């Protein structure tokens, strides 16, 4: 009997919860949908319809000339991108991606007299360019 009354109580509680939040009901508005469809049909969001007009007026050619002039003002030498340099007589060769000079460079230390028993203070004390800062937040928080 108690199980049956507990079941009734659960059904009543769930029914009360579902009635308390019925959800949003949208009524059909055919005139509003038609107006929205007409608006979307008339409002094109691209220049596809204007492309012929822009080309005949010369807008595209002027924009291309303006971009080319801006690019040429930022060049260091004519015919060369700003990130490129004349290294080794090779015009237009990228400085950062010159793999021949990187692979042919010897990257070994020039320090002599170091052994496995050398103290750390002797190895690292002569490097005055290394400055250690404590880690901390650099924000106003």
> Would you state the pLDDT for residue 66?
93
> Would you state the pLDDT for residue 12?
83
Residues 38-74 pLDDT 10s: 888 877 666 677 778 888 889 889 999 999 888 887 7
The answer, as to whether pTM is greater than 0.75, is no
For the chain, helix, strand, coil in percent to 5 are: 45, 5, 50
Residues 80-137 pLDDT 10s: 554 444 444 444 444 555 678 778 877 777 777 888 888 877 777 655 555 566 666 6
């Amino acid at each position: 009997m108690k199980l049956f009354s507990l079941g009734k109580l659960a059904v009543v509680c769930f029914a009360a919860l579902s009635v308390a939040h019925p959800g949003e009901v949208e009524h059909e508005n055919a005139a509003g949908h038609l107006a929205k469809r007409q608006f979307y049909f008339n409002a094109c969001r691209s220049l596809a319809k204007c492309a012929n007009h822009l080309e005949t007026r010369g807008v595209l050619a002027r924009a291309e000339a303006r971009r080319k002039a801006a690019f040429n003002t930022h060049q260091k030498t004519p015919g060369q991108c700003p990130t490129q340099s004349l290294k080794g007589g090779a015009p237009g060769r990228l400085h950062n991606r010159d793999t021949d000079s990187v692979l042919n460079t010897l990257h070994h230390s020039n320090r002599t007299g170091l052994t496995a028993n050398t103290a750390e203070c002797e190895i690292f004390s002569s490097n005055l360019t290394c400055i250690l800062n404590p880690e901390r937040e650099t924000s106003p928080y």
